[in-house]
Amino acid sequence: MVDIRSQYLRLQPDIDKGIAEVLDTAAFIKGPAVKEFRAELADYLGVPYLIPCANGTDALQVALMALNLQAGDEVITTNFTFISTVEVLVLLRLKPILVDVDPLTFNIDPNKIREAITPRTKAIIPVHLFGQPADMESIQEIAGDHGLFVIEDNAQSLGASYSYQDGTCKMAGTLGNIGTTSFFPTKPLACYGDGGALMTADPHLAETMEMIINHGAKVKYHHEIIGVNSRLDSIQAAILRVNLRNLDDFIDRRRKVAAVYNQRLGSRPGIKIPVTDQKGTHVYHQYTIQLDPEVRDSVQSKLSLKGIPSIIYYPVPLSLQKAFNFAGYRQGDFPVTENLCKSVLSLPIHTEMDSEQMDYICTNLLNIIDHE
């Protein structure tokens, strides 16, 4: 699905040099590489405050902790995403309220958010899924109407931008009150282990979040609030500095793969290619097609026989996950998400794909579908 090793080999001199510098200084925690990386990423995103942390799940947890919510407060989020969001809500004794998504963009449906608001609603967490920002203009309008916080889960769309109707353009993750991201090895901006970050334009939130990730302390051994230990280590920061310098090129390479897929698969009945929303740019963290649920699994096995990997993101809606049984959702509550879980298939897309590989994948996929 991704080729991290080939990407490393291409960038090896820079990466090795960055790692060697950290080893040389032995500043493994809070070293200069972390300081430099955070300034460089803040600059790239055009955001005043950027706080690195240990991973994208922690980033979501720290963001929620910083908002001072009370047990039982409701937070609205999408049913079609990775488990992290709902996990941290439950851990913090907040109440996740899931809503359905748009069947074309896979992103949270603002109309469904409106319907889910109650007097206990305190925040909305849109996820910019598969590389494309959610409909932030509508979401922020709803949040404004009801005085709600917006936390953007931008683990999958770092580098995408979003344009409002008035022409203002901002980077995904910098639109809401807080943005969170992950540097897991397969994400758009990746390290070689775990990493994450929080973004905000609000100095008070920034100060609180900085304290939370450092055991609730501004000054060592003086703990003002209850926090966690969640740091980005220096070796990962050194790798991230190199990958950040290459991020626009990475995105460009992924877009070129997507363009080939669009061209080869777009006109084929039986394959629905991903739709791009005009307000956001797409960084193609995933290239996710939709197939007839009757044939999807068989197409996937036949691709696999040809040595072509593919993954179903996501096979089960959050509402039907066993861990989430207590919430009382049932089959049929989220028709769009439930249908997507049966029809989506993500194809290989990465920065090192050559035209031969793309041709092999497209030719075989079209062939398999012809014979279904």
Ligand X SMILES: *Cc1c(COP(=O)(O)O)cnc(C)c1O
Q: Least distance from C-beta 364 to ligand X, angstroms?
A: 28
Residues within window 238-257 making contact with ligand X, judged by CB under 6 A: none
Stretch that binds ligand X, among 54-62, 248-256, 274-282, 287-295 (CB under 6 A): 54-62
The tally of CA atoms less than 13 A away on the side-chain side of residue 114 is: 10
| CB-CB contact of 158 with 132 (8 Å) | no
Query: How far apart, in whole angstroms, are the C-alpha atoms of residue 356 and residue 367?
Result: 16
The tally of CA atoms less than 13 A away on the side-chain side of residue 143 is: 22
Q: Determine, following the binding rule CB under 6 A, whether residue 280 of this chain makes contact with ligand X.
A: no
Which CB, 55 or 105, lies closer to ligand X?
55
Q: Determine, following the binding rule CB under 6 A, whether residue 314 of this chain makes contact with ligand X.
A: no
Which CB, 55 or 310, lies closer to ligand X?
55
Residue 73 bridge partners (DSSP): none
Q: Determine, following the binding rule CB under 6 A, whether residue 81 of this chain makes contact with ligand X.
A: yes
Residues with Cβ within 8 Å of 162's Cβ and at least 6 positions away in sequence, in order, are: 133, 136, 169, 170, 171, 172, 175, 279, 280, 281
**Residues in contact with ligand X, shown as a per-residue x/- string from 187 to 216 under the rule CB under 6 A:** -------x-x--------------------
Query: How far apart, in whole angstroms, are the C-alpha atoms of residue 244 and residue 2?
Result: 18
Q: Determine, following the binding rule CB under 6 A, whether residue 132 of this chain makes contact with ligand X.
A: no
> Tokens representing 19?
């790692």
Q: Determine, following the binding rule CB under 6 A, whether residue 130 of this chain makes contact with ligand X.
A: no
Q: Determine, following the binding rule CB under 6 A, whether residue 184 of this chain makes contact with ligand X.
A: yes
Stretch that binds ligand X, among 52-60, 118-126, 263-271, 296-304 (CB under 6 A): 52-60
Q: Least distance from C-beta 366 to ligand X, angstroms?
A: 29
| CB-CB contact of 94 with 40 (8 Å) | no
Q: Which of 77, 78, 121, 156 touches ligand X (CB under 6 A)?
A: 156
Stretch that binds ligand X, among 40-48, 78-86, 324-332, 347-355 (CB under 6 A): 78-86
Nearest Cα neighbor of 306 from 233, 234, 367, 225 is: 367
Q: Least distance from C-beta 249 to ligand X, angstroms?
A: 22
Q: Which of 18, 56, 96, 317 touches ligand X (CB under 6 A)?
A: 56
Q: Which residue has the tokens 């820079």?
A: 14
Find the angle CA(6)-CA(16)-CA(160) to the nearest 5 degrees.
Answer: 60
Q: Determine, following the binding rule CB under 6 A, whether residue 347 of this chain makes contact with ligand X.
A: no
Instruction: Put residue 302 in one of left, alpha, beta given phi > 0 → left and psi -120 to 50 → alpha.
Output: alpha
Q: Determine, following the binding rule CB under 6 A, whether residue 80 of this chain makes contact with ligand X.
A: no
Return the residue nearest ligand X (CB atom): 56
Please report, as ranges, the residues that interact with ligand X according to CB under 6 A: 55-57, 81-82, 84, 127, 153, 155-156, 182, 184, 194, 196
